[in-house]
Chain A
């Protein structure tokens, strides 16, 4: 310390606004809102057109665009009747149930396994932990397409093909690397003091996991759950390969792919079929949306 008087006070300038404050200010300007609205309209327009199409008569769909609805509004429920009609050979109701049967375990299994795995990676020290974690992290970049035939061969060998098991196992396997990584990052952020306090109170790993971690994890679990649910519900590729064995296990996406008929002559049914299938993801998203962004941000961004 020198004798320099403390008169110079360049530090007394107003504190620089934090990055988030700048971002908030920029994002809430009228121009940004306008851009957001334009993007929202652009993204919603095709879906809106699809919704209108699903109510238009067959010949109108095939001959004109959906926007002609405004000059010549013709509405019918025939398309929706047709996708639930056993007579025309399509009854989406059965496949709807199949999809639910596939989705629910295919979401719960990876969540349960990943939460346990992530806890171990975050808070238990064991040999080779970092290598193992790196391996799991790296597995995310393996394209699932290369695993299709080998996995199917295994499923055939252990004689579970034609049941729901291949789908549950395949979806769980494909989901685990991302799930473990996401939940691990989330758990790492929980202050170590909390864990230590619990340990001092005599809690072991099991009670720390259930009493301390799990309540804090709910947003992350919900976020990942939505992710996984949407992925499984909308999946066609995995179902195509592993759901071989007839209508008993085929999800709704398979039937949607087939709904247009052998030579695509019934493509007017696509719009109504799609909207039947969309109901569940929209419901799930609306139910859990408040966790969605929160959980994603918490899990992926440090600091």
Chain B
């Protein structure tokens, strides 16, 4: 059957495949041309003070390689924000984004092939990289900048064994609840300012017969992580930031009363059949829904509230108006009372594997408020904890909200706990047990299993 050469059918199929290939390559050529016309950007034309880089000497013609997990489309504003630096110094910044960053950076560090600079999204990973012996300490200029522009908590996340390695880069706020401003206006709901009010609002919506909350925790290998954010957020609120710090560093056990109380507080929402899963199904459907799709039903009116980080904005279709008076917006997940403002979040840190002057200069640039503002102008869906970031430079209302939350003097920022716990817990047992918990496992078994997974010293 296969031996019959060149049967007419396979010729037709072949011609079809070749034809499509030809069309695609033509389309590719068209795409290339378009690139030339958009050469200049606003970031490059906005002048910055070039004199500050003279302390690093003549850098013309040098190259700095950057390796990150930030890929398209978020990589474009990153590249744009480097243009001012490249113009000033003559350095070329070679950007490489890779979604497998978190495993590949370790492979490359161990094999002796690390990039000059990596953006590390987790303090735990930073520690592993420092342990390979390939990471180099941040230069004094960067350390000074970090003292000047960032809070002490942020600097401590970039410090390993008492030595400061990595200055913070971007940040995201996870303590957000997405809602539809239009629905709230039409139905007369108000934004809650305490946990009790949040519960009352949920009851009120549930009384109308629709389920107030929607959630999705499916995320491939990482399925379950959105629950860990819920638990961390409630750990901060129910037990306070000090208990949270102890919980993350395992000074108090994972199956202790504080932790159990936080899980139960989350369970009042996520394991409550009256509250979830708006527009999708019952409690168990949370595990089967991907996190990207978890909150989209707000647009259809079948769900009113969705707790997810600031970066969730990108999941809504482009035509959605995300603003305080638009289709979708978010409010701060309230604290226990109106005066306490714990903020759960994440961020990236800049760690260097080389100490050449051009690498130092680039590290220095990234730690300045100048870069933060350049980046803010170029991007949407991005904020930094840099205190020099001018909120007016942010274009996206959600970014403005996030920046306001981060810069609030009363805010107590805490890094995502699962990113700081040992990998056996933070990116394994915590996720898996949380998923089992959603699909029916009781709280006591869940916290006991996670406690058992904690590596013994």
Q: Are B2 and A89 in contact (CB under 8 A)?
A: no
Residues of A within 8 A of B3 (CB): 290, 293-294
A262 near B315: Cβ-Cβ < 8 Å:
no
In the complex, the answer to whether B28 meets A93 with C-beta atoms within 8 Å is yes
Contact yes or no, B292 A265, CB < 8 A: yes
State the CA gap A293–B1 with chains docked (Å).
Answer: 10
Q: Evaluate contact between A290 and B2: CB separation under 8 angstroms.
A: yes
- Contact assessment for B31 and A85 in the assembled complex, using a CB-CB cutoff below 8 Å: yes
CB–CB B73/A261 < 8 A: yes
A48: shortest Cβ distance to chain B, in Å?
Answer: 15
Given contacts A89-B75, A240-B104, A279-B17, contact A267 B111 (CB under 8 A): no
In contact, B107 and A286 (Cβ under 8 angstroms): no
Tell me which residues from 1 to 48 in chain B have a Cβ below 8 Å from any Cβ of chain A.
2-6, 10, 13-14, 17-18, 20-21, 24-25, 27-32, 34-35, 38
Chain B residues touching A, range: 35 or more
A-side interface residues, number (CB < 8 Å): 55
A279 contact from B24, B29, B95, Cβ within 8 A: B24
A257 within 8 A of B: yes
Does A282 sit within 8 A of B, measured CB to CB? yes
B219 close to chain A: CB less than 8 A: yes
Residue-wise interface mask of A (216-241) relative to B, using a CB-CB cutoff of 8 A (1 in contact, 0 not):
00000000000000000000000011
Q: Which chain A residue has the least Cβ–Cβ distance from B5? A: A290
Q: Does B314 contact A (CB under 8 A)?
A: yes
Inter-chain contact A283/B314, CB cutoff 8 Å: no
Give bound CA distance, A247 to B71, whole Å. Answer: 12
Say whether B97 faces chain A, with CB atoms less than 8 Å apart.
Answer: yes
Which residues from chain A contact B311 at a C-beta distance below 8 Å?
A: 262-263
Q: Which residues of B contact A290 (CB under 8 A)?
A: 2-6
Contact B108 A152 (CB under 8 A): yes
Candidates A62, A244, A261, A292; contact of B74 at CB < 8 Å: A261
Q: Are B96 and A247 interface neighbours, CB within 8 A?
A: yes
- A84 to B3 CA separation, bound complex (whole angstroms): 38
Query: Please, what's the 1-or-0 string for B104-138, where 1 marks a CB less than 8 Å from any CB in chain A?
Result: 10011011110100000000000000000000000
**B73 and A266 contact, CB distance less than 8 A:** yes
Q: Who on chain A is nearest to B99 by CB?
A: A258
A240 to B20, CA, bound (A): 28
Give the shortest distance, in Å, between B132 (CB) and chain A (any CB): 12
Residues of B within 8 A of A90 (CB): 72-73
Within the assembled complex, what's the spacing in Å between the Cα atoms of A261 and B72?
Answer: 5
Residue of A nearest to B28 (CB): A93
| Nearest-neighbor residue (CB-CB) of A267 within chain B | B292
B103 nearest in chain A by CB position: A240
Consensus secondary structure, chain A interface: helix
Complex formed: what's the CA distance from A89 to B70 in Å?
A: 12
A262 to B74: give the CA distance in the assembly, Å. 7
User: Which A residues, 12 to 46, have Cβ-Cβ distances below 8 Å to chain B?
Assistant: none
| A192 in contact (CB, < 8 A) | no
- The one of B4, B10, B30, B296 that contacts A286, using a Cβ cutoff of 8 Å: B10
Q: Residue among A81, A90, A244, A290 with the most chain B CB within 10 A?
A: A244
Chain A 154-169 interface mask (CB, 8 Å, partner B; 1/0): 0111000100000000
Q: Across the two chains, which residue of chain A brings its CB closest to B319?
A: A59
Q: Which residue of A lies closest to B35 (CB)?
A: A86
Residues from chain B with a CB closer than 8 A to the CB of A241 are: 104, 107
Asked if B249 is at the interface (CB within 8 A of a chain A CB), the reply is no
Most A CB atoms within 10 A — which of B10, B34, B75, B97? B97
A81-B67 Cα distance, complex, nearest whole Å: 27
Q: Does B445 contact A (CB under 8 A)?
A: no
Q: Are B28 and A244 in contact (CB under 8 A)?
A: no
Minimum Cβ distance to chain B for residue A196 (Å): 30
| Measured CA separation A279–B27 after assembly (Å) | 14
A161 to B108, CA, bound (A): 11
One of A91, A240, A260, A293 near B2 (C-beta < 8 A): A293
1/0 per residue, CB under 8 A from A, across B62-89: the answer is: 0001010111111110000000000000
User: Is B337's CB within 8 Å of the partner chain A?
Assistant: no
Contact with A along B308-340 (1 / 0, CB 8 A): 000100110100000000000000000000000
Q: Determine if A136 is an interface residue (Cβ-Cβ < 8 Å).
A: no
6 contacts between A and B (CB under 8 A): A80-B27, A149-B107, A156-B111, A246-B94, A261-B73, A286-B14
Give A contacts to B, CB under 8 Å: 58-59, 62-63, 80-81, 84-93, 96, 148-149, 152-153, 155-157, 161, 240-241, 244-247, 254, 257-267, 276, 279-280, 282-283, 286-287, 289-290, 292-294
Rank and list the top 7 A-B pairs by shortest CB-CB distance, nearest first: A93-B28, A89-B72, A152-B111, A258-B71, A84-B31, A286-B14, A265-B314
Q: Which of B's residues lie within 8 Å of A, judged by CB?
A: 2-6, 10, 13-14, 17-18, 20-21, 24-25, 27-32, 34-35, 38, 65, 67, 69-76, 94-100, 104, 107-108, 110-113, 115, 219, 290, 292-293, 296, 311, 314-315, 317
Given contacts A87-B34, A153-B113, A262-B311, 5 further A-B contacts (CB under 8 A): A62-B292, A89-B76, A91-B28, A244-B113, A262-B97
